[in-house]
Amino acid sequence: MITYFQAIIIGLLQGVSELFPISSLGHSVILPRLVGWNINQNDPFFLTFLVATHLATALVLFFFFRKDWINIIKGMGRSLKEREIKTDNYHAKLGWLLVVGTIPTGVLGLLLEEKLRALFASASSAAFFLILNGLLLYAAEILKRKAPENNDEIGSDKRLANLNFSQAIKVGLAQIIALIPGFSRSGATMAGGLAVGLSHEDAVRYSFLLATPIIGAAAVLKLPEFFKPENHNLIGPALVGALCAAGAAIVTVKFLVKYFHTNKLTPFAIYCLAAGVIYSALLYFR
């Protein structure tokens, strides 16, 4: 099982790396191997532990963007009542864009998650894909479409509602690559957002809105695992890990929303490239 010390470290790591575009799953695979912990990413108890940290992260994202979600839910309800999405109901348009981006991704994730994790379960492969994640982020900056200048009077949600449903599907499907340890969910969706013409500020906001139902639903579906008799001893460490993940996520989301007002993905690309190479070397000589 996981000790309380390990739960704290992994929880903090999860809360930061799930939102930073640096792959939480990749780091969760690599760290135990580097420090010699007897933890494998495919161990049932470890997957159950990650459910708690993921749920905590999703709750933080929902709370942080709660005003947006309240407006989105109200707007979608209005669109169902009126049986159309009126031009002034941009929160409804944004909500349906998120649905379109979430459902196919969720279905494919359920079908592919276990196969991809089993196929790329080693720390060495996670380090290699972390390098590729860095290249993805760097390419996103080079190939990004020019975004219209942000107008604070319009607001980010209204700008995001200008996406079409085809673009929403493309950005949503980018999350599939994050099922491979080493690739980042937030990094892939931010890169997809830049590719369809979003600014960095709007891309990170859309990425976090899109991640909330995906992360939350995946965690809720696996919550029954906690009630199995063999996992009773895991409840304490899981709660500690979840609290640590939530605390780290609060700090991280505040930082990133402010950071991407004026900055780019390039520093994260450099980190992933350097970390992937260093991790690969360390794992090779262990």
**Residues 215-256 pLDDT 10s:** 888 787 777 777 788 778 888 999 999 999 999 999 999 999
Q: For the full predicted model, state whether its pTM sits above 0.85.
A: yes
Burial class (CB in 10 A: 0-12, 13-18, 19+), 258: exposed
Q: Work out the number of other CB atoms within 10 angstroms of the CB of residue 169.
A: 17
pLDDT tier at 149 (50, 70, 90 boundaries)?
low
Identify which of 12, 95, 103 has the alpha carbon closest to the alpha carbon of residue 53. 12
Instruction: In whole angstroms, give the CA distance from residue 116 to residue 114.
Output: 6
**Residue 154 pLDDT exceeds 70:** no
Provide the 10 A C-beta neighbour count for residue 72.
23
Domain ranges of the chain: 4-284
pLDDT at 148: 65
Amino acid identity of residue 238, one-letter, is A
Q: Are 15 and 245 in contact (CB under 8 A)?
A: yes
Q: What is the pLDDT of residues 183-217, one digit of tens each?
A: 999 999 999 999 999 999 999 999 999 999 888 88
pLDDT given at position 98: 94
Write the pLDDT tens digit of every residue in 122-131. 889 999 999 9
Summarize pLDDT for 72-88 with one digit per residue, the tens: 999 999 999 999 988 88
Return the percentage of the chain with pLDDT > 70, whole number: 94
- Cα distance between residue 159 and residue 165, in whole Å: 14
Task: Give per-residue pLDDT as tens, 27-74.
Answer: 988 998 898 888 876 777 787 888 889 899 999 999 999 999 999 999
Residue 121, amino acid: A
Indicate whether 153 pLDDT > 60.
no
What is the full DSSP assignment across 186-198?
HHHHHHHHHHTT-
Instruction: Give dist(CA 267, CA 257) in Å, integer.
Output: 15
The pLDDT, as a whole number, for residue 43 is: 75
